[in-house]
Amino acid sequence: MRNPNERQVVVAYWSLRVALGVVPIVAGLDKFTNLLADWPGYLSPSAVRLLPMSPGAFMHVVGVVEVVVGAAILLGYARIFGWVAMAWLAGIALELLTTGRFLDVAARDAVLAVAAFSLARLAELAERTDAAETTTKGVSATVRS
């Protein structure tokens, strides 16, 4: 390792990448079963009135988005999808605030939005470093051939 802090950055990056990849997939899949929570119950009455579909159908759409975002983060696209997760989580936190209930969950999602922001910023370093190392290894392999 070139930089003594590089290992710490890599550990933070991977911790956030795994957590922010796995949790949205689990929560997204649960939007179809409601085993972990009654997801439509988290919607504010004003949001329900604005929906062009039933709250359950809306939660199915939300579940698909969450699975896609989580999978993209796990597959190494955290540089882009970290920002998507950040915006998504901030939107959820704001929507929860409008319910006047679930303020603890809103606070948790706000913190997760900050974590997603941190992942996106770390991914700028980690994914650029990975690409540079892959390119360097490819170039040195080509030079040796």
Report the alpha-carbon distance of residue 116 to residue 5 in Å, rounded.
21
Which amino acid is residue 8, in one-letter code? Q
Task: Return per-residue pLDDT of the chain as tens, 145 residues.
Answer: 467 678 888 999 999 999 999 999 999 999 999 999 999 999 999 999 999 999 999 999 999 999 999 999 999 999 999 999 999 999 999 999 999 999 999 999 999 999 999 999 999 988 876 655 554 455 444 444 4
Report the alpha-carbon distance of residue 40 to residue 72 in Å, rounded.
25
- The pTM for the full model equals 0.84
Please report, for residues 34, 41, 98, 122, 130, the alpha-carbon distance to residue 133 in angstroms, rounded to integers and kept in the order given: 43, 47, 46, 16, 5
Task: Give me the residue spans of the domains in the chain.
Answer: 6-139
- Among 80, 113, 73, 69, smallest CA distance to 94 is for 113
User: What's the confidence (pLDDT) of residue 126?
Assistant: 86
- The sign of the dihedral angle between the CA atoms of 26, 123, 68, 37 is positive
